A and B are shown apart, each in its own frame.
Chain A
Amino acid sequence: QKEVEQNSGPLSVPEGAIASLNCTYSDRGSQSFFWYRQYSGKSPELIMFIYSNGDKEDGRFTAQLNKASQYVSLLIRDSQPSDSATYLCAVRGGRGSTLGRLYFGRGTQLTVWP
């Protein structure tokens, strides 16, 4: 069973702060890592994906990957109340998994208060 673990939160930060969301995974063969945002009652939408060790930045969002530690994180700079949502970490299975199959964590609920 391929596990994806996230700190379930809830995480609460003030507007303008940096929100840090963390995720660990069990399948060492995993190659692709995704962060989805899910507003309450809505479907998940992709924010970022990362393949290589290190940081990947996109606007206020930075994904960080450390394959040796099997750890991926998402930083949200200058957090806004509109960032309040559940953030889902997803990992594409490595060897032995069906191509394209994603394994999701339970999600971290983020609240940004004004």
Chain B
Amino acid sequence: EAGVAQSPRYKIIEKRQSVAFWCNPISGHATLYWYQQILGQGPKLLIQFQNNGVVDDSQLPKDRFSAERLKGVDSTLKIQPAKLEDSAVYLCASSLVRDRVMQETQYFGPGTRLLVL
């Protein structure tokens, strides 16, 4: 079974530029999460999708961050414009819904390391 795929793996941009990250979850996983992990901290949820609908985006800085999952499979996370404090690893994770019950295990992708200069 293929894991969660993310690209790019690394990105360096200057502040005020825009950047986009892509995630392809495990096949059949209805729930998709985007996390931000700043160095030395645990992952923080930015947004959670169930199929193509947003379930939780309460911690997404909506003035600069946006995310979509148009067909309920792949997802993109965009930052525009980027700030220095956005330097972090952006992790995508997915989990399965079985018999209408969300399964507990979240599977993480390799992450995208973003450096904003």
Q: Is A46 an interface residue (CB 8 A)?
A: yes
* Chain A residue nearest to B4 in the complex (CB): A43
CA distance A34 to B110 in the complex (A): 19
Question: How far apart are A19's CB and chain B's nearest CB, in angstroms?
Answer: 19
Q: Is B95 an interface residue (CB 8 A)?
A: yes
Contact B42 A100 (CB under 8 A): no
Q: Which residues of B contact A99 (CB under 8 A)?
A: 55, 102
Contact B110 A42 (CB under 8 A): yes
Binds A, one of B13-21, B43-51, B62-70, B79-87: B43-51
Contact A45 B108 (CB under 8 A): yes
Contact A106 B40 (CB under 8 A): yes
Q: Which of A42, A43, A88, A92 contacts B42 (CB 8 A)?
A: A88
Contact A43 B108 (CB under 8 A): yes
CA distance A101 to B43 in the complex (A): 12
Contact A98 B55 (CB under 8 A): yes
A-B contact count (CB 8 A): 50
Q: Is B1 an interface residue (CB 8 A)?
A: no
Contact B106 A104 (CB under 8 A): no
Please count how many residues in chain A sit with their CB below 8 Å of the partner chain's CB atoms.
21
Q: Which residues of A contact B45 (CB under 8 A)?
A: 101-102
* Chain A residue nearest to B92 in the complex (CB): A43
Contact A49 B110 (CB under 8 A): no
Q: Which residues of A contact B40 (CB under 8 A)?
A: 106
Known contacts A98-B55, A100-B95, A44 near B43 by CB under 8 Å: yes
* Chain B residue nearest to A97 in the complex (CB): B56
Contact A43 B109 (CB under 8 A): yes
Q: Which of B42, B102, B104, B108 contacts A105 (CB 8 A)?
A: B42
Contact B48 A98 (CB under 8 A): yes
Known contacts A45-B108, A46-B105, A49-B105, A106 near B42 by CB under 8 Å: yes
Q: Which residues of B contact A105 (CB under 8 A)?
A: 42
Chain A positions 93 through 114: 1 when the CB is less than 8 Å from some CB of chain B, otherwise 0: 0000011111011110000000
Question: How far apart are A53's CB and chain B's nearest CB, in angstroms?
Answer: 17
